[in-house]
Amino acid sequence: MAKRHANEFLRTNTGRLAGSGMLYDRYDEEARLSKNTRQANPVYTKEYSDYIKELKNQPVKTYKLTKEEMDEYLKKLKKE
């Protein structure tokens, strides 16, 4: 039986060995994924989708504090 090596099963989505090839990260236009690379497509349950919709539809509370109230709030915040 032939000897096995560490990177035998470590491959990226494009098929190259993990950790080989690129010495630095690229953020230019040409560094995008190839057409053969699969994109993640999450599947959400109905319960999770309903939960997210409920979170988005909640009212936002705003407070208008006087200068004294704001100073008191900041003092309490610094103590914690």
23-66: per-residue pLDDT in tens? Answer: 666 666 666 666 666 666 777 899 999 998 998 888 888 989 99
The span from the CA of 71 to the CA of 80, in Å, is: 15
The span from the CA of 28 to the CA of 33, in Å, is: 12
The span from the CA of 45 to the CA of 47, in Å, is: 5
pTM of the model: 0.29
H helices within 3-80, ranges in order?
A: 46-56, 67-79
CB 7 within 8 Å of CB 17:
yes
